């Protein structure tokens, strides 16, 4: 299964969102853990690929030396 989410950074928080789902965290590692926890609560088993596409309108100014597409991420979660 493949899911697509938007990745954003607002008020010193990383945010993953789509439709009615929103997960926030202080770091990308914490966000990954939050996504895994959320997926386990919805899908009991299986392998899920999560694509995070960065919201370029909210690109943090402190990362301006990087290209925004560097923050697009692909994660795979094995829920078995």
If we measure between CA atoms, which residue out of 67, 71, 61 comes closest to residue 16?
A: 71
> Per-residue pLDDT tens for 19-68?
899 999 999 999 999 999 999 999 988 999 999 998 877 666 666 666 55
User: Rounded to an integer, what distance in angstroms lies between the CA atom of residue 39 and that of residue 51?
Assistant: 13
CB 7 within 8 A of CB 15: yes
CA angle 24, 4, 19 (to 5 degrees): 65
- CB atoms under 10 Å from CB of 16, counted, come to 23
Counting the structural domains of the chain, the total is 1
What domain range includes position 25?
2-78
> Per-residue pLDDT tens for 55-75?
877 666 666 666 555 678 899
């Amino acid at each position: 299964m493949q899911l697509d989410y938007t990745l954003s950074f607002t008020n010193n928080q990383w945010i993953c969102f789509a439709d009615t789902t929103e997960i926030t965290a202080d770091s990308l590692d914490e966000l990954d853990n939050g996504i895994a926890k959320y997926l386990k609560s919805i899908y009991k088993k299986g392998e899920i690929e999560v694509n995070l596409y960065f919201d370029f309108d909210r690109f943090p100014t402190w990362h301006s030396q990087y290209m925004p597409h560097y923050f697009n991420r692909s994660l795979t979660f094995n829920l078995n």
